[in-house]
Chain A
Amino acid sequence: MSNPLAAQQLSASQRAKMFIQKSPARMAFIIAALIYLVTIIISPTSLNPSAIGSIIMLTLLLSFASAGQTIVLIGGGMDFGVGAVMSSAAILTTTIMNGKDGHFLQLLVTALAMGAVVGLLNGVCTVKIGLPPMIVTLAISNVVTRMQYVLTQGSPMGYASPTFIKTVTSRLFGLQFLPSIVLYAIIIIPLVYFLLNRSRFGKQVYLVGNNPTAARLNGINVARVQILTYVFSGLFAAFAGMLGAAYMNAARCQIFDEYAYNSLIAVIIGGTTLSGGIGSYTGSIAGSLVMVVLSNALTTVGLSQPVRNVFMGLIMVLLLILYNREKKVRQ
């Protein structure tokens, strides 16, 4: 009598397991929805258009930053320089614009060049010299961070220009839940999709991440592809930093440094593996949503800062346990 029941339960749990592991992106969206539901139940006032608008804003910002991280992780690397590049781009934005309109093109070129140079340095040191990506990108991002302090004497000047701020933070069509950063997303997200799924480069990145030796034997220039992933990461991080400066209005040193880890965790929650070769940008967007909704939930519930930290850590561990475990030693 109990035997078939047990079998049924087992199959149900297996089905649940399959459901969880089949599409991490879908799972991440579900988790984000659940967390938001809990937030609304605990404090119903948090369900208002402007709160949703700020969630969308922060999610898009984090997903732009994690676009590069996704590409690098799929290619089998890791980039901790995202935070430092974003902070530097934010400082460049406020310094170059200095509260006046008409410097956007100059800023765009400078910031993207900076991002590309840092990315290139990361890539060359990781791939050509063979250092562990985590250590070398950390060391380079340290140098970049110190450079911010040296060049600005610790207190960056200026503000982002009013027009630029308007293109990021103003609400579209008077709808409170639709910030105009969505317009940038219309450009960036398809671009990343094209890069990863529709271009030759994207296919090569997946191949290289999956098996570098096989990729090399198939005539792919492994080193070039991997270095390019870091360059793209630098470019996307620099762009995200510019938008972030517009969102924050003014910048300070190390303003976006936490994005280095946050983007990594968002990408991992979205189902991209640390070992490379597997992953999608949809997952990273979903992971960003989870991270933003989570921190929003912990803020609205009104816990004190230390308790919030503990919860944040515990939930991160839970999310990792859910579907990012390594293989068993005994198989």
Chain B
Amino acid sequence: MIKNAFDRFRRSPAFAGFILFLVALVLNAVLQGPASFFTVKSINTLFAKNAPFIIVTVAQSLLLIAGTMDISCGVQVALVNVVIIMAGQTLGLPFIVCCILGVGVAVLASLACWICCSVFRLPALLASYALTYIIKGINVMIMDVPQGKVDKVFYKAYDSQILGFIPVSALFIVGVLIIWLYVRHNRFGTHIYAVGANPRNAFAAGISPMKVQLKAFVLKGIFIGVAGICITLMIASGNPLQAEDYGIRSLSACILGGLGFGGWGNVACAVFGSGFYVLIQNSVYYFFSLLVKLIPGFAVTSYWQNFVSDIIIFLGLLMTIVTAKGQRQALKEGIVRQFRRSDRHYDEPTAAKKGGDGNE
């Protein structure tokens, strides 16, 4: 039973990402020292600082599975942050209402992207890059310089733990994942894979790709809204020009976790990919502080840390695809085998099989 479950997991798209994540986790724990890593405080800081990024990655994975993408995710998070702070500051609305307003704005921004990508059928990459300009401009129009504050009650609550060990910030991530799991086990969850893998076939099967992508974009907007709330609570003020690189970084985190473009992979890929991203940056930081401690007179700038972590992320990218390729091959062979088994009256000629393989 357990062996079976492990076997299934080994063949799942998330496996490569999981291995990377595990390596990064062990590396981080060793470099930081297990005694100080496995404390409530350090785990809490890790979640509190990175919850927005992880949620953005989950949102991005949703779009990737649906066959599109949105690299304006990052500025959308900043938009939510700006709206929440300015609504509280100028209109005097209570914080909770501001948050709901922020989520609404994020959904609107997502819909703008949906109109470009699905209704006008523009290439998602370029359309969302153009949107980055628009949303960045709007951010600065709403709030020209970083300002504002959040009530102490709220940001203290974000930084605290429930029952003394569960970080509140982790609950946001869990909430997003529960919404996703609920959706995944609905009809929409199946449709999204069908549309992502091949919109034409999905259309022929009676699914409207446009509607499915609309739902995906709305859901992504809600997730971005949650990420925006997290980032507002994290920095406890407003900044119109932050988090811009989340859009592209979330994309590469998704690929790191083993997602492909369109109809391949699941949300675990996004979680492991972003986890790897976060933990590698963390462990490189501790690696350099360890070096400073061990070698007297050793001093480097933070540029070196960024350099090393980017190299590791690049290598991780290479690793994932090598393993994911093998998995995809295995999956394809599995499907072919099943097809042959069911079709007993048909002997496939070897020459035809060769031609078929050559197409790939």
Contacts and interface: CB of A to CB of B under 8 A. Distances in A.
Interface of A: 125, 129-132, 134-136, 138-140, 142-143, 146-147, 149-150, 153-154, 213, 261, 264-265, 268, 274, 305-314, 316-317, 320-321, 324-330
A125 B319 CA distance: 11
Given A150-B303, A309-B133, A313-B133, A131 B318 contact: yes
Contacts of B317: 131, 135-136, 139
Given A131-B318, A317-B130, A329-B203, A310 B122 contact: no
A24 B18 CA distance: 46
Interface in B247-292: 248, 251-252, 255, 260-261
B140 A309 contact: yes
A317 to B, nearest CB: 5
Contact of B255 (A132, A149, A265, A329): A132
Contacts of B306: 146, 149
B252 A138 contact: yes
A329 B201 CA distance: 9
Nearest to B116: A317
Contact of A320 (B126, B134, B210, B314): B126
Contacts of B2: none
Contacts of B141: 306-307, 310
A134 B122 contact: no
Contacts of A154: 301, 303
Contact of B122 (A264, A324, A329): A324
- Size class of B's contact patch? 35 or more
A139 B252 contact: yes
Given A153-B301, A307-B137, A310-B133, A320 B252 contact: no
Given A321-B122, A329-B199, A305 B252 contact: no
Contact of A316 (B130, B140, B252, B255): B130
A107 B136 CA distance: 38
Q: Is the interface of A mostly helix, strand, loop or mixed?
A: helix
Contact of B252 (A129, A135, A264): A135
B307 interface: yes
A326 B123 contact: yes
B1 interface: no
Given A274-B126, A306-B138, A313-B133, 14 more contacts: A129-B322, A130-B325, A135-B252, A138-B251, A139-B252, A139-B314, A143-B307, A268-B126, A274-B123, A308-B137, A312-B137, A321-B122, A327-B121, A329-B203
25 contacts: A135-B317, A136-B317, A138-B248, A139-B252, A143-B314, A146-B311, A154-B301, A154-B303, A274-B125, A306-B138, A306-B140, A306-B144, A307-B141, A309-B134, A313-B131, A313-B132, A316-B126, A316-B133, A317-B127, A317-B131, A317-B134, A320-B123, A321-B122, A325-B122, A326-B123
Contacts of A329: 199-200, 203, 209-210
